Structure 1
Amino acid sequence: MLRRYGVWGGGRLTLDGDLTEGKGQASSSADLVATVRAVSEAIGVTLTPADIESLLRPIEPTDGVMYPGVVAFLHRQVRLQAMLGHLPATTIVGVDEGGQVDTVDFNRIPKPFGRAERREYRSLLDEITVAIGKGDLATVGAVATRSALLNQRLRPKSMLGDLVALSAATGALGVVAAHSGTILGLLLADDDPDYPDKLARVRYGCRALAGRAWVDRSMPTMPQSTDLPTGSRSGPGAR
């Protein structure tokens, strides 16, 4: 950035965050975007999300956390595909299977998907694009669940089957999964009339499966979080 904008000299950059590495929470993307924004403020340069993309593109695959709301993002190309909008207020009860995933190594793995799977992924993207535009969380949950199941060929989650069954038993919207990480969760709509009961049942079931669970709450404009484990926080989701 200093070279690009003709600034000479230097300074001290301090990164302070609580996203755990290797869990699929886009911790490296968050660090990179925070660095760009900190340096841009220090040198008095205003950057667009597209400017940030161009700075990060030569470094590593990156998630679209430089954009507000939900996006379809080409993480290997580090390029926005589409802005999808904002979701209604939602809750995710999360669990962690343990371990860590090196994102750079993960992205070198050949993807074992044929034409049929690729067509299905395109169809799922079309479905979730329409669903987000309508605020249709039921379809969002169904698409997220199917995407998680398809990803079992690439990064299997041992708890996924049990969580899909728990989702059906409790009336949750579906299962979300960090495709390149170790975290899964069950999705709930905050405006569900049965929300308190469903939340209690889902938390109990997740704790029974994983030994620990936490609650992330995502708001349309300002994500917030409660009851988080050390090393996790809520944030704008993507993906």
Structure 2
Amino acid sequence: MKKEQKLGKFKIFPEQFLCDFIFKFEIQECDKKTLFIRQLFTIQKQQEAFHKKAYNHIYDSICYFTNGEKIVSYRKEGVFHELGIHYNVNKFEHYFGENLPTREIYDVDISFKKYTLQESLEKEIYEILSIKNQKRKVLIGHSENNFIETFVENNIGIYIQINRKKIIEFYTNDLLVVSKRFEEKCKPIKLLSCFNCGYFKKQDQFPFGTTNSLHECMLIKQKAKSSEFNEAITHIWSYCSDFIEKKK
């Protein structure tokens, strides 16, 4: 049974999403939520399009995702799928308090991403929320550890921490090289990420970045139009539920 929690005056039921450090939840009690939003707009009298979009993402999204530091909200806007990235979880929680007049619009700290294909959402949500305390957490397969932490120091390379005692240093920023060397050094541990997915396609001359971190997801590219090219871009250490293990 899911454990009930509260966000201000609303009930939520968090459940794990893709991994054990990202959670998905919905805001329950729709009638109360609708009344709450109407009261808020009446008090704030917000007319600007950005403000309305921000408040709709805060109070009236289909669902939400969090790593405990950031919140990602998901809404349908016509034919598009839209994510709202809320950069401060404490500020987000503040908007669900009892004192409506304190919800000043200048407090909103949010940006938006829009997608045509629903298949693009999971890898983007994972990519946004796999960053915690300035460290990227990457899922591990065939290991006693649920994830590893990776970080950069002085721009001289990638450091991977498997546990509190074991830190591996790689003196390169090329994530393809780091991924291969890590797996060679730590067999049978494997990265559960796009890097090891059957849909992953390496691009030798990709126009974005110079460290081989961004490539293509063929599952999305096969469905995307040429104008939706960017939706097929994926990060080597991203991940989604469509993952299939790459054939040797």
The TM-score with structure 2 as length reference comes to: 0.30
1 or 2, which has the higher strand percentage? 2
Larger Rg: 2
